[in-house]
């Protein structure tokens, strides 16, 4: 990092209103494949670089005092990819489950996974659980990782659960409110997404936090995820802070 890089980050930080940070930021970590392709490398190298970016950005998010960030790491649709690519991704994810805790120890972050875990092996699920339990008492950033996550799948699982409770007589129609639905989703307890960040030039949600992002401010940029920097996160936050959020009402 050069003097100029440090200076630029400092200047951007000075523009951020730290009293008005987005409470929940969603990040779609997209563009790993294209990053690798441009360098003539296999896609898995892009995912490896993307994993490094994830570590840098999640650490920085904690440093600047963000409350919660949810990273989209693997979607319910990503199983459609070649077996080789899916396996490479699983190796990276498992490596994070094995070694990420030590790195997190000093950071005070709370880790939580969202998505359907039943697709993963028993030992993989045990590691997820262990990471959540080991960081449960931390008081820093709520770091959510979306694995085998899709909004439609999340809403489908939640609705099934509701039907089961109703069938047992444990839930009445009037118990269903926007709040109770939010509390039954994987993101229970988290605030709604204020800022949704998607790099890589794609301008869509790809089945990510659709209920939770109903009023999110969307931030898109052409930067590919492995090239995404702390400055990009600061730029997205500054842009967010300059938006006029009306929520259907009218601001004076």
Active site residues: 30, 78
Decide whether 44 or 110 has the Cβ nearer to ligand IPE: 44
Decide whether 86 or 166 has the Cβ nearer to ligand IPE: 86
Question: Which residues, 6+ apart, have CB-to-CB distance to 51 below 8 Å?
Answer: 92, 95, 96
Decide whether 125 or 207 has the Cβ nearer to Mg ion: 207
3 state SS of 9: helix
The reply on whether position 42 binds ligand IPE by CB under 6 A is: no
Residue 73 interacting partner from ligand IPE, Mg ion, none (CB closer than 5 to 8 Å by kind) = ligand IPE
Work out which of 22, 26, 48, 72 binds ligand IPE, going by CB under 6 A. Answer: 72
* Helix spans in the chain (H): 3-15, 32-38, 43-63, 83-105, 122-135, 151-167, 178-184, 230-241
In which order are the strands placed within the sheet that holds 24-28?
Answer: 110-114, 142-149, 68-75, 24-28, 195-198, 217-220
The reply on whether position 30 binds Mg ion by CB under 5 A is: yes
**Alpha-carbon dihedral 82, 85, 86, 91, rounded to 10 degrees:** 160
Give the count of residues interacting with ligand IPE (CB under 6 A). Answer: 17
Residue 28 interacting partner from ligand IPE, Mg ion, none (CB closer than 5 to 8 Å by kind) = ligand IPE
Contact 69, 55 (CB under 8 A): no
Work out which of 108, 202, 214, 215 binds ligand IPE, going by CB under 6 A. Answer: 202
Residue 89 interacting partner from Mg ion, ligand IPE, none (CB closer than 5 to 8 Å by kind) = ligand IPE
> How far apart are the two ends of the chain, measured CA to CA in Å?
43
DSSP H or E stretch at residue 168: none
Residue 32 interacting partner from ligand IPE, Mg ion, none (CB closer than 5 to 8 Å by kind) = ligand IPE
Largest CA distance in the chain: 65
Residue 76 interacting partner from ligand IPE, Mg ion, none (CB closer than 5 to 8 Å by kind) = none
* Residue 135 to residues 109, 150, 205, Cα–Cα distance (Å): 7, 24, 29
Nearest approach in angstroms of CB 57 to ligand IPE is: 14
Work out which of 30, 194, 217, 232 binds ligand IPE, going by CB under 6 A. Answer: 30
Nearest approach in angstroms of CB 100 to ligand IPE is: 17
- Contacts with ligand IPE by CB under 6 A lie at 28-34, 72-75, 78, 89, 200, 202, 204, 206
Return residues touching Mg ion (CB under 5 A). 30
């Amino acid at each position: 990092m050069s003097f100029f890089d440090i200076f630029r980050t400092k200047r951007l930080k000075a523009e951020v209103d730290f009293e008005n940070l987005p409470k929940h930021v969603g990040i779609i970590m997209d563009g790993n494949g294209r990053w690798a392709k441009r360098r003539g490398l296999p896609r898995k190298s892009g995912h490896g670089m993307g994993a490094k970016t994830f570590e840098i950005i999640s650490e920085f998010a904690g440093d600047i005092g963000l409350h919660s960030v949810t990273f989209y790491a693997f979607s319910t649709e990503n199983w459609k990819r070649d077996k080789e690519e899916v396996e490479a991704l699983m190796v990276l994810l498992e490596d994070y489950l094995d070694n990420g805790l030590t790195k997190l120890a000093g950071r005070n972050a709370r880790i939580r996974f969202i998505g359907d875990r039943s697709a993963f092996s028993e030992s993989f699920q045990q590691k997820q659980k262990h990471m959540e339990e080991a960081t449960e008492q931390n008081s820093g950033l709520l770091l959510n990782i979306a694995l085998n996550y899709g909004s439609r799948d999340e809403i489908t699982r939640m609705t099934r659960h509701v039907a089961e409770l109703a069938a047992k007589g444990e839930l009445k129609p009037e118990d269903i409110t926007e709040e109770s639905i939010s509390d039954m989703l994987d993101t229970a307890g988290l605030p709604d997404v204020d800022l949704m960040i998607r790099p890589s030039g794609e301008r869509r949600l790809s089945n990510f936090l659709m209920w939770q992002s109903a009023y999110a401010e969307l931030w898109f940029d052409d930067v590919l995820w492995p090239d995404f920097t702390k400055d990009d996160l600061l730029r997205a936050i500054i842009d967010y802070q300059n938006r006029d959020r009306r929520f259907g009402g009218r601001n004076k």
